[in-house]
Structure 1
Amino acid sequence: MSVAVSVRLPERLAAELGDVASATERSKSFVIQKALEAYLEEQADLQIALDRLNDPTDATISLEDMRSELAL
């Protein structure tokens, strides 16, 4: 099921969206949906990384140990 959402964009961004949609022969809605999916996935990955960075119980290894493990 799809839900309609209204968004206001700066003219420059709206024009770029139109250009990408035309170049890829996709609808503006499709381009926006894919961009939003990618953004939300990146935000989730960022939050996981920040949570791990700030978790004092998460084990860390030195750069030297990592290079040794990877045979670099």
Structure 2
Amino acid sequence: MFFSGIQNTINAELFSNMPIKDQNTSLQNLYDKGYSVPEISKKIGIQSGTIYKRIDAHRGRKGLFAG
């Protein structure tokens, strides 16, 4: 699809211009909200293995109102 290609490019560009700490926080937040690593990888445009290295996937996902 035309628009999904543009959106993926925009997402990747915006993400790549964020400081690394903010990138990692964003990745963790997406994962904690229930998005799978392959979904995040496809939309952000970075490899799944890189995402796994940059998030704490083993801690479990926090609930919406968890502290």
Q: TM-score, with normalisation over the residues of structure 1?
A: 0.26
Greater RCO (CA < 8 Å, at least 6 residues apart): 2
Q: TM-score, with normalisation over the residues of structure 2?
A: 0.28
